[in-house]
Amino acid sequence: MLRKTLLATFCASALVTGAMPVLAAQSQQLQSEQGTLSVTRITQGLEHPWALAFLPDKQGMLVTERPGNLRVISQGKLSAPLSGVPKVWAKGQGGLLDVALSPAFNEDRMVYLSYAEGGGEGGTAGTAVGRGRLSEDLSRLLDFKVIFRQEPKLSTGLHFGSRLVFDRDGYLFITLGENNDRPTAQDIDKLQGKIVRIYPDGKVPDDNPFVGQPGVRPEIWSYGHRNPQGAALNPWTGTLWDNEHGPRGGDEVNIIERGKNYGWPLATHGINYSGAPIPEARGKTVEGTVAPRHVWEKSPAISGMAFYDGDRFKAWQHNLFIGALVSQELIRLQFDGDKVVHEERLLGELKARIRDVRQGPDGYLYVLTDEDDGALYKVGLE
C-alpha cells in the first residue's frame, strides 16, 4: 500500500534493505492533575499501528500495523516487516490486530497474533489467532499456525474485537466482536460477541463454563459483548477486565466473570448512529446480565487498556489507562476498590486517535496513535 507523504516514501525505500533510523525523538511537556507529563515521540511513519508487545532483555518491542505488517522497534530503529506473518483481510476495521508474547517466551519464543481472516460466505471475514516462533535475529516468524478461528465468519469490515490476554495460569483469552450482527452476541452457538478461553495451543479447557452442553461453543467464557477492543489482566486481583465500544453512547468497562452475560444488545446505554433506539434493547440494565463497572454516555470510542503497577510513577499506582479514538485522548481512571471514582483526560494536545496503551518494563507508558502516519509515544511524569 503506497504511502501518501514524502516521509513515508523514504521509509518504504529504506525498508527494502533493512532497518531504518527512527526520526529524532521529539519531547514536549503537557500539564496533568498529577504533575507535568513528559511526552516523547519515539517513532512515526507507522501505518495504522494497532498493538505492541515488549520483548525481554531490552530487545525492543513488536508492533502490528493493520495493513498486515509486524515490525520491531529497537535501539532507535524501525525494522523491515517480518516475514512469516499470515495474510490478513485488511478491509474496514480488519487487518493485523493484536500481538502477545507466550508466557514462556524465553523458552519457546512464541508470538501470538490476532487478525481478520477472510473466506466467509459472500466474502465475509472473522477473527483468527495464530502463533509462530520468533527467529533469534528478530526478522521472521517461523512455523506460523492458526490455533483459533471465529465461526461463522460474518463481518463485512466491522467489529472484530481481537485483544489477547494470558492469565496467571497460562490460559489465553480472546475478545471477539459481534461483527456488527447484534443478535449473535446472545447466540451461544456462535462465536460473535464473545470472550473465549483456550489453551495456548488452541485446545479447549475442560472447565470452561459451557463444555459438554449441546449446541453451545465450548470455547466461550462470557457473552453479550459488542466490540471489545481493550482487555487487560488486573495485576492485583488476577481478574480479566475489558473495555468495549457501545454504539452511539454506552462505551463500557467490565470485569469479566466465568459464564456471565454482559447484555449486548439487550442492555445498553447507547442508541443507533441514526439516533433511533437499538431494536433489541430492553433498557440500560436487564435482569440476568452483568452491568458495566463504568459507562460513558457519550462515546470516546475506547481501545486498548493498561493497569499501572510500576514503581516509577507512584501517583499512577492502581490507575487504569485507556486509549480513545474519537475523542483523541488517553483516559486515566482512578479507583476505590473496583469502583471508578475519578476520570482525567490526557494527551488531547496530540490530536491523534489513541489505539493502544501499554506499561513498559521501564515504568513508562507507551501509546500508539492510529493514523496513516501513526506514532509511538513514551509518556511519564516529571
- In Å, the largest CA–CA distance within the chain is 59
Please, which residues have CB within 8 angstroms of residue 212's CB and are 6 or more apart in sequence? 218
Residue labelled with grid coordinates 496503551 = 357
Which amino acid would we find at residue 275? Answer: G
CB atoms within 10 A of CB 2: 6
| Helix/strand/coil percentages in the chain, nearest 5 | 5, 45, 50
**Integer Cα distance of 369 and 355 in angstroms:** 6
Catalytic residue, chosen from 48, 159, 225, 245, is: 159
**Integer Cα distance of 30 and 20 in angstroms:** 29
> Is 159 known to be catalytic?
yes
Please, which residues have CB within 8 angstroms of residue 295's CB and are 6 or more apart in sequence? 246, 250, 251, 252, 253, 269
Q: Which of 53, 158, 46, 32 is nearest to 99 (CA)?
A: 53
Which amino acid would we find at residue 176? Answer: L
Query: Which triple of cell numbers denotes residue 102?
Result: 507466550
Query: Which triple of cell numbers denotes residue 195?
Result: 470472550
Q: Which of 60, 92, 3 is nearest to 366 (CA)?
A: 60
Beta bridge partners of 145: 131
Query: Which triple of cell numbers denotes residue 198?
Result: 483456550
Radius of gyration of the chain, Cα coordinates, nearest whole angstrom? 20
**Integer Cα distance of 369 and 176 in angstroms:** 22
First-to-final CA distance of the chain: 39
**Integer Cα distance of 337 and 201 in angstroms:** 35
3-state secondary structure of 12: helix
Query: Which triple of cell numbers denotes residue 242?
Result: 475489558
**Catalytic annotation, residues:** 159
